[in-house]
Chains A and B, each alone.
Chain A
Amino acid sequence: MTVSLRLFISEIKRLYTYKILTISLAISALWMVILYGIGEANAQSFVGLFIALDASVMSILMLGASLFFEREENTLKPLLVTPVSTGQIIGVKVASSIYVALQSAVLVSLFVRLVMGIPVDFMSLILLVMLIALVHSMIGFYLAMKATDFSGLLVNMIIYSFTFAMPSLMVTLGLISGWAEEIVWLSPIGDGLFYMQVVFQTNGADAIDPVFFILSIIYLLFISTVLYVGYIKPNYATAAVKE
C-alpha cells in the first residue's frame, strides 16, 4: 500500500472520528426528506441543485474548517516531517473532500432513483461530482490559506458563495436570462448546476452543446491547476508551519 493510500485511509478514519462524515450524512438525509416532501416532479428539478451546492459549498467549508482546526491543534506541522510530500498531503486532503461529496451525492441519487423513480446517469454523476468537489476543494484551500482566522474564512466563503452561487441559481431557476446566461459558465458553482442537468436529465439537458460541456470541464481543471501550482503548493508548508 502506498504512503498516500495509507494517509488517505487514516484521514477518512479521522473524519469519522471528528463526525465530519456523520454531519455530511445528516445533511444528505435532510435533502432526501425535502426531496420526498416536494414530490417527484419538483424533486427532479431540485435534486441537482442540492447535490451541486453540497459538492461545492460544503467542499469549501469542509476543507477550510479542517485546515483551520488542524492548524489550531498544530497537526499540520508534524505531517511535514514525515515521509509524505507536500503534494501528497494536499492530494489526500482534496481526495478526502471528494470522498465526502461523493458519499452524499451517491446516497441522495440512489434515494431519488430507487424511491422516487427519477432517472440518474450514475457514471456522469460520479465523474462530475468529483470535478466539482476538486475545484471547490482547491478554492477552499485558497480561501483558508488567505484567511487569518476562522471567521475570516467564513467571510471569504460567504463572499464567494454569494458572488458565484446567486447568479447561477437565478439563471438555473429562470429568474434572470440574457447576458447573464452567457457568462454563468465562469462560475464553478454555475458549471456544477449545469452538469447536474446532464446527470438528472432535467429540462434543457438535450440542448446542451457538447463543445461547451467539454470547454467547461477544461475550464474547471484549469482553475484547479492554477490554484494548486500557483498558490497552494508553494505556500502550503509556510502556512502549516506558521503558529
Chain B
Amino acid sequence: MAVFEVQGLSYQYQKSHTQAVNQVDFKIEKGEIFGLLGPSGAGKSTTQKILTKLLEHYQGSVIYNDQELRTYGADFYEKIGVGFELPVHFNKLSGLENMQFFQNLYKTHVPIEPLLEQVGLLADKDKRVGEYSKGMKMRLNFVRALLNDPDFLFLDEVTNGLDPKNAKIIKDMILAFKAAGGTVLLTTHLMGDVEALCDRVAFIKNGAIIESDTPKALKIKYGERIVDVEYKTDKGLTKQTFDLSDVGKNDAFIQLLKTADIQTIHSGETSLEDIFILITGDTYDG
C-alpha cells in the first residue's frame, strides 16, 4: 500500500526561469525507507518541502494516504516527523526546553528523556543548545522529529555532521522505526546512509527522476558481470578476471581456487558512489 503516490509533480520558484522539480513520479510504500538522492540543487529538498506542505502551488498530484495532499489541514502534521538538514533550535533554551516547546503542540506525546538518552544527550538536556556542538544539535533535530510518535519520517541529510558512532546510533534508530511499521523518506547525498538504510532509491537530477530501483538491483544493473581474483605468486599479487555467467563451469577459475594462494575475490558489482557519479554526472563528495 502506497503512503505517498506522486504523479507529474512540478514546481517552479518565483523569479526562477527553470522548473526546480519537473514531472516527477514515484511511490513510497508503507514500511519502507525510500531514498531520494542527487547532487546539490537537483530538486531533492524542493520535493521534500512539497511533500511536507512547506511549498504549495505545485503542479501534478501528491496523494497521501489516499487523499490529495492539498486537502489536508494542519492536522496532517500530527503523525508526521520532519528532520531538517540544519539545526532548528532556540539557542537560549536548553535541549529539553526546546523539545518541550515543540512537543506541546501535538496531541500525541512520547517521553522525551528516553529519546535523549538513546541519542546520548540526556546528560546535556539542561544545557543551552547554543553550547551544543553541531553533532549534538543534529541529534536533537532527530529527537524533535520523533516527539509526536509519527508514522512517517522525512529526514534530510540526517547524519550530516555526525561522527561514525553517533551516525550509527541514528541509523539504528531509523531501522528500529521502520521495524515498528514506520515509513521514511530519506533525502541525502551520503551513499553510506543509503546502503545502510534504503529499501528503494530514486536518483534526481535537474528536477527529474532519472533512475529508481532497489540499491541491490542498481548495483547489478550498473555493475559488470565479472569476478576478480587476486592471488599470490612469486612476482607478487596477480589479478585474474573471469566472466560471472559461467564461473561455476570455468575450469581455470575452479583450478585457481583449488591451487592458488587467494588474497581477494570481488564481483564486478559497482558501488552506489559510482552509480551516483555515472547517473548524475556529478562528482561525489560524500
Contact = CB atoms under 8 A, between A and B. Distances in A.
Interface of A: 3, 6-7, 10, 14, 17-18, 73-75, 77-85, 88, 237, 241, 243
Interface residues of B, number: 32
Interface in B11-54: 49, 52-54
A81 B91 CA distance: 19
Contact of A83 (B54, B77, B93, B144): B77
Given A10-B101, A241-B55, A82 B106 contact: yes
B82 interface: yes
B145 to A, nearest CB: 9
Given A14-B90, A17-B92, A6 B104 contact: yes
B248 interface: no
A161 B102 CA distance: 35
B235 interface: no
Contacts of A3: 105
Contacts of B80: 81
A18 B102 CA distance: 17
A80 B54 contact: yes
Contacts of B93: 14, 17
A84 B106 CA distance: 9
B78 interface: yes
A79 B103 CA distance: 11
B102 A74 contact: no
Contacts of B78: 83
B54 A75 contact: no
A3 B93 CA distance: 20
A240 to B, nearest CB: 8
Given A78-B84, A83-B74, 16 more contacts: A6-B105, A7-B105, A17-B90, A17-B97, A73-B88, A74-B86, A74-B88, A75-B89, A78-B144, A80-B54, A82-B102, A83-B105, A85-B73, A241-B49, A241-B55, A243-B86
Contacts of A83: 74-78, 105-107
6 contacts: A18-B92, A77-B84, A78-B102, A78-B144, A88-B74, A237-B56
A78 B77 contact: no
Contacts of A85: 73-74
B268 interface: no
A88 to B, nearest CB: 8
A88 B73 CA distance: 13
B223 interface: no
A88 B77 CA distance: 15
Given A14-B93, A78-B144, A84 B105 contact: yes
